[in-house]
Amino acid sequence: MNKKSFTLLLSALLTFSMLTACSGNNNKNNEAAPSNAGTSGGTDAATAAPEPEKPAEIKIMLPLNTTETPPDTIKTEVEKLTNTKLTNTKLTYQFYPADTYEEKLNSSFATGSLPQVTYLKNQTTFIQMKESMKDGQFWEIGPLLSEFPNLNKLKPEILNNTKVDGKLYTLYIGRPLARQGIIYRKDWADKLGLKPPANVDELFAMAKAFTEQDPDGNGKKDTTGIVDRNELVYGAFKTVSSWFGTPNSWGEKDGQLAPEFEFPQYYDTMDFFKKARDAGYMNQDFAATSKTDAVNMFVSGKAGMYIGGSMQDIDTLNKDLVKNYPDAVLDTHSMVAGPDGKFAQWMIPGYNNVVLFPKSAVKDEAELKSILAFFDKMMTPEVANLMYWGIEGTHYTVVDGKAKPADDKELIEREVKGFKDSVIGEAETNGMYQSLNVLPGRIHAEELLLENVKVGVADPTAALDSATYTSKGVELQQIISDATYKYIYGQIDKAGFEKEVQAWKERGGQKIIEEYNAVYKK
């Protein structure tokens, strides 16, 4: 099909889609037979649209944050909603466990086997791919977005945070700017007479009490205060670090940008976790604990605080916890003051993941546009709701203009969760329903999200480019991550940590500092 024909086809597709009522959600795994939707009877042969030569086949790779690969329930419905007289969609979702997704992503990239649509995992994997974007291994999509009315609604300030050398290669999965905080056992706190921690000292005191004062009342010393995982950013460390006043990745010192680990508050945070680990107030092997294992430890009643990540996870944690302990009560908290009495929350750049389109899999601009047309439909309320909430009447109902999830949480997690994590944009841009929250701790979490932003601290380098950081940043960050774990584990002291910082600088870190400062405040 030549370029002119494709343009006419796309125009017809978009025009038709505006006239077709849809209802939708996201989908995942394997192939399902395509089905056409939106056709109507009574069309005569002279005006009937031509049948497509073949389905628009789109393969999608993405991380899976559940234990089970979802069935085709949602995928099949998405195919129906994205089919018209002129085109139909055949989707293949390739799910890989989130805990090992980076390994799969890197190996697929190295062997040239990435599919047409490749979701990354987080900002770290995005950084890993920046150099490849510069090398032309992924399609630039910025100049094309204006052709797609729904994709063109994506927030420009967030798109700018994902640009590489001023060019846009990605679509983003939007997230609230500051979702992190504490999900904690309120029933334990009430039993022990504890209020939500007002500052970092009270946070430590709660961890101690949850460990030493038998909060579950079984007469055994078998609980711990904090459960953490092998993730310094999305686990507990960065959240607590922000409460201590550490800058968000980079901060200003004497008019120049400096990395967070050169600030005294970073050392204060390491000391906090070292003291907690030494005393047994957190899981001893946290540096080797996966997210799945950390969650399992919390919902099995072995820990009292789950810090970092997203306070919105309280719904899932509560669902699994009350199976084991029906009387358990969870709540959320985030306003924890630092030693100086001030509040701060680190903020993400408005997204937690992005999507790329490899040139090794997408052969030309016409195919790229057909894929973008699919994502444009994903950003309609009908498809966004399908992928995010599921099938109305089965996975959710609409109450007061909001989505109320069904009582069968296992069904939602099994059939919908995998697709939910792939929806482009956010409610303001894709029109999907907001959540009707009924769990008190979740209602509290939504209130705290707004409070967090009021004291939010942005990463000043989010929209800046450093060639050395792009090519070596992830590798160099591992030096600091390893040193941080070693310090907390007592394997090195402050001098040893400073030695590792010097190694970071000598291997390229100093160059990163210089490059960021060269463009800072321009």
Domain contains 32: no
Looking at the chain, how many residues does it have?
522
Higher pLDDT, 55 or 249: 249
Q: What percentage of residues in the chain have a pLDDT greater than 70?
A: 89
Per the DSSP assignment, residues forming a β-bridge with 96 are 63
CATH number at residue 415: 3.40.190.10
Position 2: which residue type? N
Q: Where are the strands (E) in 290-439, listed by range?
A: 303-308, 330-333, 345-346, 351-356, 396-399, 402-405
DSSP-derived secondary structure letter, 116? S
Residue 259 has pLDDT above 60, yes or no: yes
User: Which domain covers residue 487, as residue numbers?
Assistant: 464-521
Claim to verify: residue 131 and residue 196 sit in the same structural domain: no
Domain contains 39: no
Q: Are 62 and 29 in contact (CB under 8 A)?
A: no
Q: Are 224 and 296 in contact (CB under 8 A)?
A: no
- Got the DSSP string for 193-246? T-PPPSBHHHHHHHHHHHHHS-TT-SSS---EEEE--S-TTTSHHHHHHHHHT-
Domain contains 103: yes
Claim to verify: residue 374 and residue 337 sit in the same structural domain: no
Residue 446: left if φ>0, alpha if ψ -120 to 50, beta else—which one?
alpha
Domain contains 51: no
Domain contains 17: no
Cα separation, 212 vs 234, whole angstroms: 27
For 89-107, the pLDDT digits (tens) are: 899 999 999 989 999 999 9
Claim to verify: residue 341 and residue 356 sit in the same structural domain: no
Residue 49 has pLDDT above 70, yes or no: no
Claim to verify: residue 191 and residue 268 sit in the same structural domain: yes
Claim to verify: residue 191 and residue 259 sit in the same structural domain: yes
For 415-472, the pLDDT digits (tens) are: 999 999 999 999 999 999 999 999 999 999 999 999 999 999 999 998 888 989 988 9
> Tokens 């504490």 appear where?
182
**Residue at a domain's end among 460, 476, 496:** 460
Claim to verify: residue 246 and residue 340 sit in the same structural domain: yes
Claim to verify: residue 335 and residue 315 sit in the same structural domain: yes
Q: Would you state the structure tokens that stand for residue 463, as one six-digit string? A: 């929209």
- Got the DSSP string for 20-56? S--------BB-------S--TT--TTTPPPPPSS-E
Residue whose C-alpha is closest to residue 291's, from 350, 242, 216, 232: 232
Confidence at residue 286, expressed as pLDDT on a 0 to 100 scale: 97
Q: Please give the radius of gyration of the chain, using alpha carbons only, rounded to the nearest integer.
A: 24
Claim to verify: residue 402 and residue 441 sit in the same structural domain: no
> Tokens 């997230």 appear where?
175
Domain contains 280: yes
Claim to verify: residue 235 and residue 328 sit in the same structural domain: yes
How many domains are contained in the chain?
3
Confidence at residue 287, expressed as pLDDT on a 0 to 100 scale: 97
Question: Rounded to 5 degrees, what are φ and ψ at 342?
Answer: -95, 155
**Residue at a domain's end among 444, 460, 476:** 460
For 378-429, the pLDDT digits (tens) are: 999 999 999 999 999 999 999 999 999 999 989 999 999 999 999 999 999 9
Question: Rounded to 5 degrees, what are φ and ψ at 46?
Answer: -70, -30
Claim to verify: residue 166 and residue 252 sit in the same structural domain: no
Domain contains 146: yes
Cα separation, 469 vs 463, whole angstroms: 13
180 Cβ contact list (under 8 Å, min separation 6): 238, 239, 307, 308, 309, 310, 311, 334, 345, 346, 452
Which SS3 state, helix, strand or coil, does residue 255 take?
Answer: coil
Claim to verify: residue 169 and residue 212 sit in the same structural domain: no
Residue 492 has pLDDT above 90, yes or no: yes
Claim to verify: residue 68 and residue 125 sit in the same structural domain: yes
Which pLDDT band holds residue 52 (cuts at 50, 70, 90)?
very low
Domain contains 45: no
Q: Would you state the structure tokens that stand for residue 427, as one six-digit string? A: 């409610």
Helices 264-279 and 200-212, packing angle to 10 deg = 10
Confidence at residue 28, expressed as pLDDT on a 0 to 100 scale: 36
Confidence at residue 294, expressed as pLDDT on a 0 to 100 scale: 97
